[in-house]
Structure 1
Amino acid sequence: MTGIELLHRVGNSPLVTVKTPVPLAHRGYFAKVESLGIGGLKARSALSMLEGARRRGELRPGARVVESTSGTLGLGLAYVAQALGHPVTLVVDDELEPAMRNLLCALGADVVIVNTPHPEGGWQQARLDALRRIVDDEPGSYWPNQYDNPDSVAGYRGLADEIVTDLAAAGIGEPSALVCSVGTGGHSSGVGRRLRERWPDLRVIGVDALGSRIFGQPAAHRLMRGLGSSVHPGNVQYDLFDEVHWVGPREAVHACRALARDGFHTGGWSTGAAATVAGWAAAHWPGVVVTIFPDGPERYLHSIFDDAWCRERGLLDAPRSAPREITDCRHPATCWTRCRSVPTPSVAAGRQDKESG
Structure 2
Amino acid sequence: MDQHIAESVGRPDLIRLDDRLVCLRFETMKVVSALAAVRHLLDTGAVRRGDTLLDSSSGIYAYALALACHRYGMCCHIVGSTTVDHTLRTQLAVLGATLEQMEPCSDLKLDQKRRVERIHEILAEHPEYHWMRQYHDDIHYLGYRAIAERIREATGAAGLTVVGGVGSGASTGALARYLRAAPSGSADVRLVGVQPYGSVTFGAEHVSDPEIIIAGIGSSIPFGNVSHELYDTLHWISFDAALAGSVDLLRRHAVFAGLSTGAGYLAARHERERTPGRTVLFIAADTGHRYVDTVYARHREAAPLATLAPRDVTDRSELALPWSRMDWNRARAEASAADSYVPAR
Q: TM-score scaled to structure 2, two decimals?
A: 0.86
On the 8 A contact 2:176/2:190 being kept in 1, the answer is no
SS where residue 291 of structure 1 aligns? strand
Give the CA deviation at 1:268. 1.0
Specify which of 234, 256, 260 is matched with residue 246 of structure 2: 256
Specify which of 109, 112, 130 is matched with residue 124 of structure 1: 112
Which residue in the other structure is 2:173 paired with?
189
Give the CA deviation at 1:116. 6.2
Matched residues, number: 329
On the 8 A contact 2:56/2:79 being kept in 1, the answer is yes
Which residue in the other structure is 1:336 paired with?
323
Cα separation, partners in 2 of 1:233 and 1:349, compared to 1, 3 Å? closer
SS where residue 135 of structure 2 aligns? coil
- In the alignment, structure 1 residue 225 sits paired with structure 2 residue 215: yes
More off after superposition, 217-226 vs 264-273:
217-226
More off after superposition, 230-239 vs 10-19:
10-19
Q: Which amino acid aligns with 1:185?
A: G
SS where residue 282 of structure 2 aligns? strand
SS where residue 218 of structure 1 aligns? coil
Which residue in the other structure is 2:15 paired with?
16
- In the alignment, structure 1 residue 114 sits paired with structure 2 residue 98: no
Which residue in the other structure is 1:266 paired with?
256
More off after superposition, 237-246 vs 54-63:
54-63
Query: Deviations for 1:89-130, whole angstroms, at most 9, x for unmatched residues?
Result: 111122333333333334332211112669894322221111
Give the CA deviation at 1:10. 6.0
Give the CA deviation at 1:155. 1.6
CA RMSD for the aligned pairs? 2.6
SS where residue 296 of structure 2 aligns? coil
Specify which of 140, 163, 179 is matched with residue 128 of structure 2: 140
Specify which of 292, 295, 300 is matched with residue 291 of structure 2: 300
On the 8 A contact 1:266/1:296 being kept in 2, the answer is yes
Q: Which amino acid aligns with 1:71?
A: G
Which residue in the other structure is 2:88 paired with?
100
Query: Deviations for 1:122-150, whole angstroms, at most 9, x for unmatched residues?
Result: 32222111122122222311111001111
Moved over 6 A (4+): none
- In the alignment, structure 1 residue 63 sits paired with structure 2 residue 51: yes
Q: Which amino acid aligns with 1:336?
A: W
Give the CA deviation at 1:70. 1.1
Structure 2: stretches of 5+ with no match in the other structure: 339-345
What are the within-5 Å matches in structure 2 for residues 74-85 of structure 1? 74-85=62-73
Which residue in the other structure is 2:195 paired with?
208
Q: Which amino acid aligns with 2:178?
A: R
Cα separation, partners in 2 of 1:118 and 1:259, compared to 1, 3 Å? closer
CA distance in 1, matches of 2:90, 2:303: 32
Cα separation, partners in 2 of 1:207 and 1:243, compared to 1, 3 Å? same
Query: Deviations for 1:285-323, whole angstroms, at most 9, x for unmatched residues?
Result: 12211121111111111211123xx78xxx645565211
